[in-house]
Chains A and B, each alone.
Chain A
């Protein structure tokens, strides 16, 4: 049983297209995240949702729009894709205020924009 799953695992698309990445967690966590890992392996948070409410919104172009239909799902929609959007996108989840628990990551979605 996969704890945090993402689809698709790989996504190759052309500049200007719109694409979505889906994430689901079955851990019962109340908080979910999106991270971007660039080609140098640097990992940076993009968004965080707690019980479907946006609580962290980093300096991310407004072409990126997260949506959380329920606390087990957090999707990421990207409009007008650019070459610089190529990266690995990770979804993660955790339980708020549960001390000592790290975030559990999905397998990542490798996005390539050509």
Chain B
């Protein structure tokens, strides 16, 4: 069975500092994808970054990077130079395989609060 675990229900970080949001996963699929989403207080879900299980390099998108450690089954999100607008819920998610017939499961989320 697939499982996503986010162990940090909430975090406080000073503005301009880097922050790491933890995510561990479990799957028996050899091929899978890992995602991070942001949900601000306005409620919409925003796709941030993707990492494939066979990707050799860690994914990066602007200030977001994914610290993928396959042997440890972890896919932590790193946000560099945090901004007030980064305050939101962050969800880690996983899909087994690339087919849309493989469902995506989500972690319980981490609420990130950036202090000015």
CA A55 to CA B100, docked complex, whole Å: 8
Q: What number of B residues sit within 8 Å (CB to CB) of A?
A: 24
Expressed in whole angstroms, the minimum distance between the Cβ of B33 and any Cβ of chain A is 7
Q: What number of A residues sit within 8 Å (CB to CB) of B?
A: 30
A residues 50-85 with Cβ under 8 Å of B?
50, 55-56, 58
B residues 33-51 with Cβ under 8 Å of A?
33, 35, 37, 39, 43-48, 50
Task: Give the residue of B50, B89, B105, B109 whose beta carbon is less than 8 angstroms from that of A101.
Answer: B50
Residues of B within 8 A of A (CB): 33, 35, 37, 39, 43-48, 50, 52, 89, 91, 98-101, 103-106, 108-109
Residues of A within 8 A of B (CB): 30-31, 40-45, 48, 50, 55-56, 58, 88, 90, 92, 94, 96-105, 107-108, 110
